[in-house]
Structure 1
Amino acid sequence: MRLAVAATIAVVVGFCAIDAAFVVQERPSTVALCTAMACFAGILATQLIHSFPRLVPLPPRARYATLGLQAVLSFVPYFFFGQAFIGMPPLLAASMLLVLPPVTAWPLFTAVTAGNVAVVFLLGDGYDIAWLGVEMLMNTLIVFGLSKLTDLVAEVHRSRTELTRLAVTTERLRFARDLHDLLGYSLSTITLKCELANRLVPRDTTRAQHELTEILHTSRQALADVRTVARGYRQMNLADEAETARTTLAATQIHTTLRIDSRPLPPDVDTVLATVLREGLTNMLRHSKAEHCAITTTHTKDTIRLHLTNDGAAGQPDRGPADSDSGSGLGNLTTRVARLGGTVTARHADDWFHLTAELPLRPERPGGDSERGQRRPRPVQQPATLAPRTATTLVVAALCAYLFQGATYMYQSKFPAEKLTWAVVTLTAGVLLQARQSFPRVPSSRPLRHPLATLTAQIALSFVPYAVFGAYWWGLPGLVAGTALLILPRATAWTVFGTADLLNLAILWDLGLHNFVTLLYIGCMAPMTGLVVFGLSRLKDLVVEVHRSRAELTRLAVTTERLRFARDLHDLLGYSLSTITLKCELANRLVPRDTTRAQQELAEILHTSRQALADVRTVARGYRQMSLADEAKAAHSMLTATGIRTTVDVTDTTLPTDTDTVLATVLREGLTNVLRHSKAEHCAISTAQAGGAIVLRLANDGASTATTAPSLTDQGSGIGNLTTRVSRLGGSLTAHHEDDWFHLTARIPLPVPATAGA
């Protein structure tokens, strides 16, 4: 960005300096000279305002006023200073392209160019009209191109930032879908089996224990699914999912007909169909009272169809067609199946509910992988890909214009045809070498391996022809300067840059060119040419580099989102699923000897599974407010039920929402570790305010069985995540062993109350 600004300012100042030298050459009066300098200053100021709109933020109408002022300052001085202001209308034309809409800008650009040529023609000072037209067009495009590329780099930043936001949103939606598809089925199954086991406990303890074993297996699978979703990928198998469905439905006394073709399927098709089956069964278990269910697949040459039906439609509300924009359920299936070129239909017929998914065996995935296809929305990419193409066009246009100007100048020298031809060939060779330096990696050719050799050849083509063509040689010192800036270290490059310009001026002086203004013109144009070539070439590379770096930032943003989901999954669902597992084992032991207590535990499992389902929706939305006081009460109930004597001393203090949620999460994660990693018999939970902070302490006497304290720095999940969350609020988290007790302490500063009257 700074490079673009510096190059633009240098070129604009150079144009003004050249014309100011022509004014000084006319030896005007002091008043006229001051007036001319004021005009140049005004033109420079308005041009910079138009080239860098963020420099002086102005409303659109004010920019029209500054554009009008620049028009007056560009043309009125012609009546007083003649062709000394010949270089100012190109700046005006560039401003029109920058400020006005294209429909208006291009006609006015044409009018300004024609008007400038007409004024010069009427003044009749011997200017070549073709030369003037090309020079004005080139100068206009140079100023416009440098200014516009500066804006385009900023636009690339904005568009890629938006792309990053969209990628994160897509990742969040993907997690929401996978959470619903994977965990919704498991938690629904746990809920259903809890209700069934609760009814079986008084009359069939063996069957009840079997159901509890199934619940235990399902809860462990759900924990595995949590880790799978956190990693971001899970391949599923339709045949395995169908067999699991048969077992589950048989346990719930739903008569099931299963006809699944065993032929292998493409992995993505297999996974999506397994997801459709799982989601269909989840909806059936939640929303219907089915007694019969049929699951079938049908193969054709190019497609596979999965058909799931049940007779519970009479008690199931008509859900209508699946909404592809919905947050979960059948709407998600429509989106996932559509990405592979398939369709999903859901309908009621004669008290039966029919869910059908049909996919091609060779899935079509426009835009890439089915899970990544949304990562680069096309409307966001278009502004980003525009900048390199525009820069390339401007570099080529500038080089062509320099070649035309040089050839025209040589033509005016009246050289013989053969000598003129060699001059044009030499100029063309120099420009082509510059093009090779500006585009070192052209797709159709090999990368440029010896840029220093090319620079040496440019130096030779720039200065040796003076021996043949004399002072009429146009010279290529500007291209030498531009190449030096492109390929040499900074200090060496600027040395070559200045040396090439001074050497060119020295040769011209030695050949008899002693006109000060002409030397000043050549002395300014060579560095300006170098800056233009270097600026446009480097900006082209810069925009490409911005693309790469922003793409990496997008990837890192998505990775951060995955880590956030992994943390929330572990913090919220890990506790619930660990509780379900623990209580299932406890209830399984209680069934033969204490059915009443077993039913109480099953009721707790049912409540926890429903809470886990709510947590799934919460994590999918990306936010959950928790209460430390409520979490402490739940912890006391749960630990007491497991035989752990628990002391709770949590002050009833209103805490900031973020602090309350983080402390509740710390407590939940700490209790998860107590249940998983220790054989505690006593547990103490307390809070206190000290030194302007709230302190939560969790201690248990199970440390003798743990060899080390959990890591506070591991960013994968668990306690390590809590360190990050607590530190974001300016707090600290410590964990240590002391006298066979494990202590976990979280300290978070509280906001300072506002002073009355402040």
Structure 2
Amino acid sequence: MISGSGAEPDGERLPPRVARSMLWTALALLFCIRAFDAARGGVDAEGLLLAAAPYPPLVALLAGRFRLDVRIGLLMASAVLALMPFAVVGMAWGWLPWTVVAGVLVALPARASWPLLGAVLAATAAAGMVAGEPFHVWAWRPLALATDALIVFSLHTVSGLVADLHATRDELAGIETLKERLRLDAELRRTVGAGLRSIAGRLAAADGAPPEDARAVIREATETARRTLAEVRSMAGAYRAEGSRRTPPPVRSPGFVRVILAAVVLIQAVRPLINVFALSGDPRWLCPLVPLLAAAVVLLLSPPSRGRLVALALLLVPVAWPGSYAAGTLAVVSNMWGLLIGAALAWVRPPRSWAIAAAVLALQVVLCVTPPPVASPADMVTNVLSPLILAWLFYGLSRLGDLVVLLDRARHELAAAAVAAERVRIGRDLHDVLGFSLSAVALRGELALRLLDRDPVRAATELAALVPVLERAHAELGAIAGGRVRLEPRHEVDAAIEALEAAGIAVRAEVETGPLPDGTGTALAAVLREAVTNVLRHSRTRTRTITVTRSDGAVRLRVADDGDGRLRAPAGGGTGLESLAARAGGRLSAGPRREGGFEVVAEFRSDPPGLGGDADGVDPVAGAELADR
């Protein structure tokens, strides 16, 4: 509703301090208007100071966030100070307790403030009637009171919302990421965890069972391991695919902004009608003015466009001037010019919007001079300040309302991006970490089946070796969802040797690194796992060499075959070796060797920048991760 062809609000270019400055500017303009009103009534300097007395408590209410009892105390102080001028200057100072009404809206909960607002408005009108004021005076006072209070309250509320949205930009991402972690953790434990428990249960049943029964149970366990491995790869791909699809949240303008803006526009449309009815004494003027002002209200509250702005200007400006030459009553339409200026500022980009605003304000000055009588200097200043405050309200609510929408959308997009990154991370870690363990379980299970008849002792040894592998897989499953994956290179080299030897591949290993930082060790071990997994899935090699060396602040991993391998480097990114190394801040090369065979070489700095923190950047974790940054 409020965004238009003017400059788009931006959460970075319009920070909370600028939003607050809009509130203070409005407050200053209102003070100036009331001061000139008092000056027109002949109030001296002492009366003006007394009239300004309720402002400090209101400023305190607007500036801070206090407990309810403190807010009530400041509100009571403002109410008492608002009554002080009566003892000195009576009604001559243009009595309008708008600071009290604004304080009521700011200080009290909605269930108490709005009924109290209605009561104060009614009491204000009744006081004017009892004092014998003319109809147009006592009827104008509650309308002006409501307008001033709504201006301050709305700008205060929206600027506070802007500050809250800025302050909580990352909180929603953290909450949504945590919820997604818990959801995926439950899903993984329900599916993958069930598969791991089933494998462990079958292997336990095979221990001590007759050969035929043991054979059937081990075969079932191996098939379960392969099904679970296929499920892990499928889930990993699904998580990565779902993580890349993000739907922008719906954009909705804050409802109270529309309501308050509509209320102020309607009040400004009613005020000219009251003046015409009270001053001209001829109700026939209402026949042309009611549809004209109703059309202006519709244009102001419709979706913004330059065409509507042109229609609004043609509707309001010529009728008031030079139309007032034909009938002075028509000059009341100029009360809507402030909203016209605000619409120009909100709907048109500068400097054109400034030119329109300056032209309308200049025309307001002309209207004070012609047709006669010429307004006094104080009246002229008031007639310029009044449209300024209305323009500032319309522009401020439009600008800040758009900013609230953009900030809220940015919060949700940030949360959606964090959730998507978390899904991608979990998908990659599932593939890169758990896939290796399940591949090892399947291979060792098949080896145990082959050995069951000719070497039962070794078959039992292979089955017993699966217990720590399954325990490690269970631990890795919990670590993946929690973002706490840690892999130790020495242990991974041992596990790689066992897995390769179970597949009938001879291994020569040399590890000379000493202690490594967690980030570096996890990155290196992850690349080793992926390289070994690719060997187990694709290669026909019979001999492998694994070396890990450290020198000049870098650690280097080399995995090479004997010349009979058929392994090729994975293409593109994904969860392949190159992607793993890049995400960990290292370098990797994979290809045929000059002397024959195939090798993978990865090198990392002492602490890769891509590891050591949470994947979404929401909270620190104790260890390194494999996720893309």
Of 516, 526, 536, which residue of structure 1 is paired with 2:387?
526
Matched with 1:688 is 550
Residue identity in the other structure for 1:615: E
Unaligned runs of 5+ in 1: 235-375, 441-447, 752-758
Could you tell me how far 1:37 is from its partner in structure 2?
A: 6.5
Task: Give the Cα–Cα distance (whole angstroms) in 1 for the partners of residues 453 and 95 of structure 2.
Answer: 101
Matched with 1:717 is 575
Matched with 2:616 is none
Of 380, 388, 397, which residue of structure 1 is paired with 2:263?
397
Matched with 1:96 is 104
2:605 partner SS: strand
Residue identity in the other structure for 1:466: S
Task: Give the Cα–Cα distance (whole angstroms) in 2 for the partners of residues 702 and 79 of structure 1.
Answer: 105
Task: Give the Cα–Cα distance (whole angstroms) in 2 for the partners of residues 629 and 190 of structure 1.
Answer: 26
Matched with 2:354 is 494
Task: Give the Cα–Cα distance (whole angstroms) in 2 for the partners of residues 659 and 87 of structure 1.
Answer: 74
Matched with 1:613 is 474
Once the two structures are superposed, what CA deviation does each residue of 1:339-360 show, in whole Å capped at 9, x if it has no partner? xxxxxxxxxxxxxxxxxxxxxx
Matched with 1:172 is 181
Could you tell me how far 1:132 is from its partner in structure 2?
A: 0.5
Residue identity in the other structure for 2:195: S
Matched with 2:231 is 225
Residue identity in the other structure for 2:159: T
Contact 2:489–2:524 (8 Å) recurs in 1: yes
2:602 partner SS: strand
Of 257, 260, 274, which residue of structure 2 is paired with 1:408?
274
Residue identity in the other structure for 2:368: L
Q: Point out the more displaced range, 108-117 or 421-430.
A: 108-117
Matched with 1:431 is 297
- Closer/same/farther in 2, CA of residues 658 and 555 from structure 1, 3 Å limit: same
Task: Give the Cα–Cα distance (whole angstroms) in 1 for the partners of residues 221 and 555 of structure 2.
Answer: 37
Could you tell me how far 1:558 is from its partner in structure 2?
A: 2.3
Residue identity in the other structure for 2:271: Q
1:187 partner SS: helix
Q: TM-score, normalised by structure 1?
A: 0.65
Matched with 2:603 is 745
Task: Give the Cα–Cα distance (whole angstroms) in 2 for the partners of residues 122 and 567 of structure 1.
Answer: 78
Aligned residue pair count? 576
Could you tell me how far 1:541 is from its partner in structure 2?
A: 4.6
- Closer/same/farther in 2, CA of residues 151 and 620 from structure 1, 3 Å limit: same
Task: Give the Cα–Cα distance (whole angstroms) in 1 for the partners of residues 563 and 419 of structure 2.
Answer: 38
Could you tell me how far 1:144 is from its partner in structure 2?
A: 0.9
- Closer/same/farther in 2, CA of residues 637 and 704 from structure 1, 3 Å limit: closer
Residue identity in the other structure for 1:395: L
Alignment of 1:466-485 (within 5 A): 466-470=324-328, 473-474=331-332, 475=334, 476-485=336-345
Contact 1:704–1:741 (8 Å) recurs in 2: no
- Closer/same/farther in 2, CA of residues 657 and 639 from structure 1, 3 Å limit: same
Residue identity in the other structure for 2:230: A
Matched with 2:62 is 51
**Pairwise CA RMSD:** 4.1
Matched with 2:20 is 5
Matched with 1:18 is 33
Of 194, 197, 200, which residue of structure 2 is paired with 1:191?
200
Task: Give the Cα–Cα distance (whole angstroms) in 2 for the partners of residues 621 and 555 of structure 1.
Answer: 18
Task: Give the Cα–Cα distance (whole angstroms) in 2 for the partners of residues 646 and 176 of structure 1.
Answer: 38
Task: Give the Cα–Cα distance (whole angstroms) in 1 for the partners of residues 581 and 322 of structure 2.
Answer: 70
- Closer/same/farther in 2, CA of residues 9 and 462 from structure 1, 3 Å limit: farther
Task: Give the Cα–Cα distance (whole angstroms) in 2 for the partners of residues 621 and 586 of structure 1.
Answer: 33
1:749 partner SS: coil
Task: Give the Cα–Cα distance (whole angstroms) in 2 for the partners of residues 550 and 96 of structure 1.
Answer: 31
Task: Give the Cα–Cα distance (whole angstroms) in 1 for the partners of residues 74 and 564 of structure 2.
Answer: 79
Residue identity in the other structure for 2:233: R
Residue identity in the other structure for 1:500: V
Task: Give the Cα–Cα distance (whole angstroms) in 2 for the partners of residues 453 and 426 of structure 1.
Answer: 12
Matched with 1:700 is 560
Residue identity in the other structure for 1:647: A
Task: Give the Cα–Cα distance (whole angstroms) in 2 for the partners of residues 112 and 703 of structure 1.
Answer: 93
Task: Give the Cα–Cα distance (whole angstroms) in 1 for the partners of residues 57 and 581 of structure 2.
Answer: 54
Task: Give the Cα–Cα distance (whole angstroms) in 2 for the partners of residues 427 and 627 of structure 1.
Answer: 77
Unaligned runs of 5+ in 2: 1-10, 241-248, 610-629
Once the two structures are superposed, what CA deviation does each residue of 1:604-623 show, in whole Å capped at 9, x if it has no partner? 23432343233333334443
Contact 2:38–2:94 (8 Å) recurs in 1: no
1:623 partner SS: coil
- Bigger relative CO (Cα 8 Å, ≥ 6 apart): 2
2:280 partner SS: coil
Once the two structures are superposed, what CA deviation does each residue of 1:152-203 show, in whole Å capped at 9, x if it has no partner? 3445667886654454344323322322232234323333444455656x84
Once the two structures are superposed, what CA deviation does each residue of 1:253-279 show, in whole Å capped at 9, x if it has no partner? xxxxxxxxxxxxxxxxxxxxxxxxxxx
Task: Give the Cα–Cα distance (whole angstroms) in 2 for the partners of residues 486 and 618 of structure 1.
Answer: 51
